[in-house]
Structure 1
């Protein structure tokens, strides 16, 4: 339904999650791609458009799996959807839909070496409770981003996993907004010493998401 919760969430999620990673598309261009499958404006990088379209497909895939627990294969499938058809997908050193082959860094910090990614991911999944709280979801996201299992696209895969976990476990979902990127990165970088920074940012984003879309929430009698 045009203008409905699903439609608006698709545009807001795709715009912000890609913008955080350097996409040059603005929100109006993102909306236009979603609604018409065409693009406006000059000098738009092809990969920005491809990854935006892929982000719409990724969100749909996530909704189709919302009742399933996250697994290593879930992560790989999401990465494959996000990066298919991009310039990265044509690079031999870039493993689309598989763990990274070369070391990478995030925020100037080393991440898990490629040869240890599989073990680190399995350990993270083994430590994940069957019923996740808000704090569990935040912790999972921090550890996933610390592992940085893919060559590129970790943030976008991690954020869609987080949205899925919120829906699956009855936690108010949220979208990490590009305008809150500095707070988001601070929360990740300082999580070990003060998890409250990341929790506070996510709580604020929950409030923002609810404020935008509360008119779509059914109010049950007696609530």
Structure 2
């Protein structure tokens, strides 16, 4: 199925895109762009095991500093680096809205996410390149390293120029099934999904850490029961709209 989803919200999805772009250009504080940066960085990294809480994430974004107290666990340097990098990745997504998503886009996003981390200093890790060692998602094997380039090319070949909500969910499932990078696949994949929503006038959404069990279940059972993942994403769209509709510039 291709084409945009029917209008289900009082505010058109294109206005979220316009607001994000205008506030990104002006670096407006306290608005949609500002809040999206914090929510996206916190949740997408928390899903992958970051120990930073949302308040610490907000503090990093707003002050470029980190705070802890005697009741807070020590902060891992890579958690801080990947949080800062996630802010840059969100900007890269907005900057790329008028460009098609390619294999190079994916590699560039991976480099942005992993810049300055311990992984970036490991030759075997291959930042900004496909994985060199086999990996798994849960207990499921992914595409072996030597077949990643072909698998990504095939995925892009069958991706329609105009994507529906279902197309975006399917692309995300296929990307995560390939798991093309040694690490960072979920975060790159969710960034791509946010970009695809904005590119296709579809209400965007952020996968929340509190919904990760449903998200992982949806990915795990997608081939047999795609409705689990689709319903989870629909609920996340509703959450995103309810949270941010008041921040959209409608005039």
- TM-score tier (shorter): over 0.9
Taking the TM superposition and a 5 Å limit, the aligned residue runs for 1:1-223 are 1-41=28-68, 43-219=74-250
User: Do the aligned partners of 2:131 and 2:145 also contact (CA within 8 Å) in 1?
Assistant: yes
Secondary structure of 1:19's counterpart equals: helix
Give the Å deviation of 1:219: 4.7
Secondary structure of 1:211's counterpart equals: helix
Cα deviation 1:145-201 (Å, max 9, x = unaligned): 000000000000000000000000000000000000000000000000010000000
Tell me what 2:16 maps to: none
Return 5+ residue gaps in structure 2 as ranges. 1-27
Q: Which has the higher contact order (CA 8 A, sep 6+)?
A: 2
Scaled by the length of structure 2, the TM-score of the pair is 0.86
Q: Matches of 1:83 and 1:168 in 2, distance apart?
A: 25
Tell me what 2:23 maps to: none
Q: How many residues align?
A: 220
Scaled by the length of structure 1, the TM-score of the pair is 0.97
RMSD after superposition = 0.9
Q: Matches of 1:143 and 1:62 in 2, distance apart?
A: 20
Q: Matches of 1:189 and 1:69 in 2, distance apart?
A: 28
Return 5+ residue gaps in structure 1 as ranges. none
Give the Å deviation of 1:217: 2.8
Please identify runs of 4+ aligned residues in structure 1 that moved more than 3 A: none
Q: Matches of 1:126 and 1:20 in 2, distance apart?
A: 29
